[in-house]
C-alpha cells in the first residue's frame, strides 16, 4: 500500500490524491494497451451530457488476465482501498473513460452511490480509484469534486441528457457550502474517492485527450442483497504489484501486430 495514503484526510474530505501510484513505465504500458485494445474500443459506448456531447466509456464487471485487471487486483490499489474503506473489498467493476479532444462531453454532478444504491447496496461503504493515463487538466475536463460533500449522504438522482445526475437544487446548495476542487493529475497519479462524494467533469475543449482507468470497489460487509448489473461479493485475489508490468507487456505483445521484416 502506498505510504502516502492519508485515511483521516479521506474521512474528512471524501478523497485523497496519490501522486505516482503507477510508475512511469506502468502508465506508459497501460496507455499503449488501451490504445491498441480493439475489443475494449468496440465495447465502448457514449453517454451524452446535457448539451448532447458524448463521454465514451468501456466497462467490465469481470477480471481477466489483462493489465486493467492486474491494476484492479494489485496490492497497492487494493490495500489503499481497504485502508480507506476500513475492511475487505472486492472488485465491483472497472472502466476506461475516453475523453477525446474537442468532442469529449461533460459528466454531470453525481454521486456513484446515487447509482449503486439501486443495485442493492445498502451502505455507501464503496469507493473508486481513478488513475490518469493522460495528463488531466482543467482544459481537458479533469475531475471536479466538492470537498467533504460525502457527509451530505445520498442525494436523489434523475436524468440529465443520457446521464443520471444529482438533484440540481441540492447541488446548488452544496456548491455554496463545500469547496470546489479541480483534481489535476499527471499520468500515473490517482485520486481515490468515496461513493457519496459529489463529482463531475467539464467537456474536453482542448487538443489533448483525457483517458483514465477507474477501478471501483465494494466492501464485503456491503454485499448487495439483490442481483444487479454489477457483481455480488466474491473474494478478490490480490496480485503482487510487479504483475502489472508483466501482464501489460504480455498483453501489448499480443495486441500489436508483428513488425514486417524490411527488404
- pLDDT tens, position by position, for the chain (263 residues)? 555 689 999 999 999 999 999 999 999 999 999 999 988 888 888 766 667 677 788 999 999 999 999 999 999 999 999 999 999 999 999 999 998 887 767 788 999 999 999 999 999 999 999 999 999 999 999 999 999 999 999 999 987 666 778 999 999 999 999 999 999 999 999 999 999 999 999 988 899 999 999 999 999 999 999 999 999 999 999 999 999 999 999 999 999 864 343 43
Beta-carbon contacts of 97 under 8 Å, excluding residues fewer than 6 positions away, are 55, 56, 57, 210, 211, 212, 213, 214
Q: Which residue has the cell 508490468?
A: 245
Domain boundaries, the chain: 7-255
Look up the CATH superfamily of 7-255. q2cbj1_9rhob like domain (2.60.120.620)
Is the pTM higher than 0.85?
yes
C-alpha cell belonging to residue 172: 446548488
Cα 87 to Cα 80, 90, 116, 126, 253: the distances in Å are: 11, 10, 19, 10, 37
Amino acid at each position: 500500500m502506498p505510504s502516502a495514503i492519508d485515511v483521516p484526510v479521506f474521512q474528512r474530505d471524501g478523497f485523497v490524491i496519490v501522486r505516482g501510484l503507477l510508475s512511469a513505465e506502468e502508465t506508459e504500458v497501460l496507455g499503449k494497451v488501451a490504445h491498441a485494445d480493439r475489443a475494449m474500443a468496440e465495447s465502448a459506448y457514449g453517454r451524452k451530457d446535457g448539451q448532447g456531447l458524448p463521454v465514451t466509456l468501456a466497462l467490465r464487471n469481470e477480471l481477466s488476465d489483462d493489465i486493467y485487471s492486474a491494476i484492479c487486483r494489485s496490492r497497492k490499489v487494493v490495500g489503499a482501498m481497504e485502508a480507506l474503506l476500513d475492511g475487505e473489498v472486492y472488485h465491483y467493476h472497472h472502466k476506461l473513460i475516453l475523453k477525446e479532444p474537442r468532442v469529449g462531453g461533460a459528466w454531470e454532478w453525481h454521486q456513484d452511490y446515487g447509482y449503486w444504491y439501486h443495485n442493492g447496496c445498502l451502505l455507501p461503504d464503496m469507493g473508486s480509484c481513478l488513475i490518469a493515463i493522460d495528463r488531466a487538466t482543467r482544459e481537458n475536463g479533469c475531475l471536479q469534486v466538492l470537498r467533504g460533500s460525502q457527509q451530505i449522504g445520498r442525494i436523489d438522482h434523475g436524468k440529465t441528457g443520457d446521464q443520471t445526475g444529482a438533484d440540481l437544487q441540492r447541488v446548488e446548495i452544496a456548491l455554496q457550502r463545500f469547496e470546489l476542487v479541480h483534481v489535476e493529475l499527471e499520468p500515473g497519479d490517482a485520486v481515490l474517492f468515496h461513493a457519496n462524494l459529489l463529482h463531475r467533469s467539464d467537456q474536453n475543449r482542448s487538443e489533448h485527450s483525457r483517458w483514465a482507468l477507474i477501478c471501483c470497489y465494494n466492501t464485503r460487509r456491503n454485499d448487495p442483497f439483490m442481483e444487479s448489473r454489477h457483481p455480488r461479493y466474491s473474494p478478490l485475489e490480490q496480485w503482487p504489484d510487479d504483475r502489472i508490468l508483466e501482464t501489460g507487456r504480455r498483453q501489448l505483445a499480443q495486441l500489436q501486430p508483428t513488425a514486417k521484416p524490411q527488404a
